[in-house]
Structure formats: structure tokens, C-alpha cells
Amino acid sequence: MDKKMKPKSSEKNNLSRRTFLKCTGTIVFALGSGCYLESGRRSKGNGLKMAVSDGYLLVDIGKCQGCISCMLACSLVHEGVQNPSLSRIQILQNSFEKFPDDLTIEQCRQCEKPACVEACPEDALAANVEFGNVRMVDKEKCTGCGSCFEACPYTPARLTVMEDEAFNRELKSRKCDLCASAPYHWHKKGGGPDGKQACVEVCPVGAIVFTRKLPVQDGDQGYKVNLRDENWEKLGYPAPKA
């Protein structure tokens, strides 16, 4: 990839103009109030402690076939439309690159200490107890300020901030909720850690799996795993190098 996953720089991100303006306005207000960002838990910068999520998505970037079916399934069950920009999981690829650097999958990590939750000035982001402490956006509270997007330490940010037709086209943040709050979910049990995740179910090659075990938080190794087994090798794919 052109840019490996790395901690986000302090550079202004490519938010839409409206998002950026709104975000800027929020910061000005916060600074003007003289308290919000400089007081309480959000100012510590050590990461917010909260109950860990009961579920995580793990991916194998060497097995993925790049069909982006996961992205299409994600936007479909959450938004009722087909739009990769609205997907909570992102496949990035470059068809001229060498395998395996031609493709990566970037999914929300449901961080143990989620910077996005910590950054939200409206308490719109929180561990949802009803759904196994998955880090979820409460769109009723979300003002679309983009603080969560800015705060996400990963590239690309694992959240999107876009207009939401269900909220009169106001800007709203979205992030992976393991399909807990997916209005178009197909399964009677729904999603979340105890249900079905659309990306996992739809992936044709099993390159995305769900786990309840907290992955190693440092680096990528806990989240980007090897899911290529002997059946994959039977298709003639050379075994991954150690």
C-alpha cells in the first residue's frame, strides 16, 4: 500500500468542508468555554478505561480476494444502500502492486482503550452494555463534529462522518458495531457479539472472522491474522511464509 497503517499525524484530515467547519466550530466552542477539553477524563490522553468489548473482527489480508462484498454488505445492512464510503470496514487495494502489499483490510478494532469514545464531546460514543460493550455511536446524541474521526489513531480512520438521511441529512458518525444496530439485518437474532456480522457471513473465502477474545492491542498482529488453512492450500495457494 502507499501508506502503511500508522498512528495518525496531527495534520488536518480530509474531512468534507461541512464536517471540517463543524468540527472547527466545536473546537472553538470548547476552547472558548475554557473547560471541556482541559478538564476531566478527556484531557488525560492515556486512553479511556472501560469494559472490553465482547467481540472483535479479525481479518486475513493474504486470503482476501478484494471483491469488497464485505463493504457492500456493511452499507446494505446498516444504511439500506450500496455505498463503499458508508462501510465500516474498508478494503484498500492497488492492482499493480505485489502480493500481499496489493491489498489491506482496515476494520474497527473495538479498542480496549478507545480514543474515539474518549474524544467524543457529546458522550455519543460509548461501550453499549446491551450489546456486549461494543463501542457504538448514539446517533441521537452525535453532532457530527468529527472529533472521533480525528481521534482514531489508525489510518484510515475506522469511522466515517457523513450525512444521514434518517436524520434530515445531518452529519453523523458511523463505526463498526458488529451489526448490533443494523436496521436491515436479515437474521432473527440480529447482530452484535451474540448475533451475526454481515461482513463475516458474506465473505466468500472466509477472510474475516469473529472472535470474543481480546486481540493483542499493540500493532497489527492481533487483528491481521492467518486464516489460510489446508483447504486453502488445496486450491494451489502456496503456504504463507513463516
Nearest distance in Å: CB 111, another protein:
19
The residue among 12 and 141 lying less far from another protein, judged by its C-beta, is: 12
Q: Burial code of 77-91, b = ≥16 C-beta within 10 A, e = fewer?
A: bbbeeeeeebbbbbb
CA distance 46 to 43: 9
The residue among 46 and 85 lying less far from another protein, judged by its C-beta, is: 85
Nearest distance in Å: CB 85, another protein:
4
The residue among 86 and 214 lying less far from another protein, judged by its C-beta, is: 86
Helix (H) or strand (E) holding 188: none
The residue among 126 and 137 lying less far from another protein, judged by its C-beta, is: 137
The residue among 44 and 234 lying less far from another protein, judged by its C-beta, is: 234
CA distance 95 to 35: 49
The residue among 52 and 227 lying less far from another protein, judged by its C-beta, is: 227
Nearest distance in Å: CB 175, another protein:
14
CB 110 within 8 A of CB 159: no
CA distance 17 to 128: 31
The residue among 49 and 169 lying less far from another protein, judged by its C-beta, is: 169
Residue numbers at the binding site for another protein (CB under 8 A): 1-4, 13-17, 62-69, 72-73, 75-77, 79-86, 90, 92, 94-100, 102-103, 106, 155-157, 160, 162-163, 184-186, 198, 201-202, 204-206, 231-232, 234-238, 240-241
Nearest distance in Å: CB 40, another protein:
29
What is the residue whose three cell numbers read 458511523? Answer: 174
Nearest distance in Å: CB 7, another protein:
12
What grid cell was written down for 114? 478507545
Nearest distance in Å: CB 4, another protein:
7
Nearest distance in Å: CB 176, another protein:
15
Question: In sequence order, what are the residues at sequence separation of 6 or more whose Cβ sits closer than 8 angstroms to the Cβ of residue 25?
Answer: 145
Closest CA to 84 of 64, 70, 102, 104: 70
CB 173 within 8 A of CB 166: no
CA distance 206 to 235: 14
